[in-house]
Structure 1
């Protein structure tokens, strides 16, 4: 259903009206605080007081993830995620979640590989010879040179090979003229990765014009990472000066690489952790939605009672808190569930689901005529939407000691709308589950 909107014409006054309102308010406030309250500064004091009131009344922002700025900080973050895998093992009765990941982290912490440079081209491109690269990169620190296999220009995905992730620096031989495959490949390379684009250009006088032309075609972060060479060894050494400068402090170069690898490891673990949680949650949700349906069918009422559904969902919410490691009180969990349930009812999830299920499920006629059946399925669908939005909220607030309930009130309509849209796309699957449930449910024979 479309999100309701309010016309800005009715809410925003004209420019003249706003100026008159602001001027009148300022004049009245200045007189009030100067003559009656005797506030020093008159209008200035009134403005300062108003600014202070605005600052104190600002809506609080939800806690945001702050990235560590050191290797030790990222190691602590990764160890915290390992602890979450341990908690998930205990909560779900699973094995083998922490041990292999802990070994992976230990290997990364103990890594002392030599500094490395990877040279990558796509099919049809060229790069300097190995001896030319060794001479051009020769410096006070020894470097390991890795020449990768040419990357395909026709592919289903443009991801970079995983083996290149361990390298400290990447030199990407960019052919001229530019090809779509190379641009797509560059979009998949993080801009914070130490990497440069190596371009062979034999015409010295045209390099400035060529650089300006490339700046119009390349993504902006890469415009300052262009290295030109004419094909001569001396020119290649001059061109690769930024790379040698990057390795001037080997300990710093290794630190940048290790911190990047820890960041990538943390991001991957978080995604795997959330996937495990979602898999467990889907089985919990499927069980809970049919319990809700059975309760509603057993005690039919003219409309779905949000309080009754919230009571039945209480066990589901508590299990969800265990899955996401949320140490919130039962009262807080019930408040969050009721807030999301109210938002779902306000967006007409029950009314829409009843009509959609009637049109799509095509259940047995004798069973489907009972009003309680439709009501029970609508209640199950409501539980499905509220549970999905609750999972999104817990994922956003995982690790937070106390959630911001005022922020929840603001975000609840959007969370429910997104969850309802996802479940709307899976409505045929829900209808299949409903048919299977009705066949095995005792009410199906009524």
Structure 2
């Protein structure tokens, strides 16, 4: 129980009393001024309440975060859901289903059994302990499989670890002294959830070990400071040196469970990336079709402004199909409101003005009358559809699997989403113009027919 300060102890601290008196006096003066001079209801208390409300409403909202499962069954459920999404997308695209191959990869991870496996690997030119000495140093009550890998090259196009090493239950990486750039790059690629240790042979170092040790710690990321094993080069020290790995091997069931979770997480991550790539391919065809439908509607419309059609992506069929692509089973009203938020942000950032000016510049170069006002307006609307559509796709990708999206959060995120999409599409401006040229030729052919 915390002690309650007595009045006597407070009186004994004049500096504290002066601070309290100044703060209290300031509050009373502010209260009087606000209530009697400026006629603010409630005076300072009202101001505090209003200020608190403003602070509460202006707090940065949190984006929906992916909640990692904490069990094999949880990851298995997530992976099954991704397989279902692959099936739905392939059915939507009318392509052959490819679930069997992915299902086999999933079953292979789930059915993984013991004994635990330990990989020992070193960089090119690093001498590894003998396999027999390692086996003796790691032996215990439970069986284990020791995998001594080939030397890792110091020059490579990729620093990712071989899949066979990533699948091991534990990793021991023997480092050279001094460290090389290749070793540091490879350390960055060690899976975070894989139990791994580093080892250095101080007997191979010529010079002051303390200085070399401090330099080594300064180079290594913090993750490895407590997982660095210093070996004197003798086989007799190996058993005591490898005690942390041996302790892991004493709980084989736990070790296997953690490895399954890690491999399922990696599988889920790879599948999500593949799924998103397929979604984007499907979306690009939908976007190109929709943007020219919107452009045609603007050209045919007697209204002089694209503002009323700014929510070009609000086309019901397009939004509905986007929802199917990303597996977002939201109501049409939710999709319409989301599209309006993104379109408003795009208009505020001058997407229409920028595209109009760029098209006017091209019109001057062409010198012809092909850029009539209505046609240019249609192209600007098509480009706006493109930017808003990409923004919508990014938002759906972030909220895939969310039962009810946070539209207020979208309102805050909309400027950033639109800015990213706008920059991306500006880089692809030439591709848009090529599509625009084909569309305009089609329009001209339709008029002459």
Short-chain TM bin: 0.7 to 0.9
> Residue in 1 aligned with 2:357?
355
CA 1:313–1:23: 2 relative to 1, 3 Å? farther
Shift, 1:264, TM fit: 0.7
Is the CA contact 2:294–2:312 (under 8 Å) kept in the aligned structure 1? no
> Residue in 1 aligned with 2:164?
163
Q: What residue ranges of structure 1 are gaps of 5+ in the alignment?
A: 1-18, 33-38
**C-alpha separation in 2, matches of 1:404 and 1:88:** 25
Is the CA contact 2:166–2:191 (under 8 Å) kept in the aligned structure 1? no
CA 1:85–1:27: 2 relative to 1, 3 Å? same
> Residue in 1 aligned with 2:249?
247
Matching of residues 10-409 of structure 1 within 5 Å: 23-24=26-27, 28=31, 61-202=62-203, 209-299=211-301, 301-307=303-309, 309-310=311-312, 313-359=315-361, 365-409=367-411
Equivalent residue of 2:31, what SS? Answer: helix
Number of aligned residue pairs: give it. 419
> Residue in 1 aligned with 2:4?
none
CA 1:57–1:349: 2 relative to 1, 3 Å? closer
State which of 402, 417, 420 in structure 1 corresponds to 2:419. 417
Give the alignment's TM-score, normalised by structure 2.
0.84
Is the CA contact 1:360–1:431 (under 8 Å) kept in the aligned structure 2? no
Shift, 1:303, TM fit: 2.7
Shift, 1:313, TM fit: 2.6
**Of 379-388 and 232-241, the range deviating more from structure 2:** 232-241
**C-alpha separation in 2, matches of 1:100 and 1:192:** 26
Is the CA contact 2:310–2:384 (under 8 Å) kept in the aligned structure 1? no
**C-alpha separation in 1, matches of 2:88 and 2:29:** 58
Shift, 1:56, TM fit: 8.6
CA 1:176–1:92: 2 relative to 1, 3 Å? same
CA offsets per residue over residues 230-276 of structure 1, 9 Å max, x none? 22111122211111111111111111111100111111111111111
**Of 338-347 and 222-231, the range deviating more from structure 2:** 222-231
Is the CA contact 1:367–1:373 (under 8 Å) kept in the aligned structure 2? no
CA 1:66–1:23: 2 relative to 1, 3 Å? farther
Give the alignment's TM-score, normalised by structure 1.
0.84
2:396 corresponds to 1:429? no
Is the CA contact 1:306–1:341 (under 8 Å) kept in the aligned structure 2? no
CA 1:58–1:84: 2 relative to 1, 3 Å? same
Equivalent residue of 1:120, what SS? Answer: strand
**C-alpha separation in 1, matches of 2:404 and 2:159:** 41
Shift, 1:414, TM fit: 0.7
Equivalent residue of 1:231, what SS? Answer: coil
Is the CA contact 1:141–1:250 (under 8 Å) kept in the aligned structure 2? yes
Shift, 1:69, TM fit: 1.1
Is the CA contact 2:200–2:230 (under 8 Å) kept in the aligned structure 1? yes
Shift, 1:337, TM fit: 0.8
CA offsets per residue over residues 108-151 of structure 1, 9 Å max, x none? 21121421111122222221121121122122222111122222
Q: What residue ranges of structure 2 are gaps of 5+ in the alignment?
A: 1-21, 36-41
**C-alpha separation in 1, matches of 2:245 and 2:267:** 26
Is the CA contact 1:361–1:431 (under 8 Å) kept in the aligned structure 2? no
Shift, 1:160, TM fit: 1.0
CA offsets per residue over residues 207-250 of structure 1, 9 Å max, x none? 55543321111111111111121221111222111111111111
CA offsets per residue over residues 164-189 of structure 1, 9 Å max, x none? 12111111110011111111111111
**C-alpha separation in 1, matches of 2:368 and 2:233:** 82
**Of 277-286 and 430-439, the range deviating more from structure 2:** 430-439
Shift, 1:281, TM fit: 0.3
**C-alpha separation in 1, matches of 2:28 and 2:248:** 59
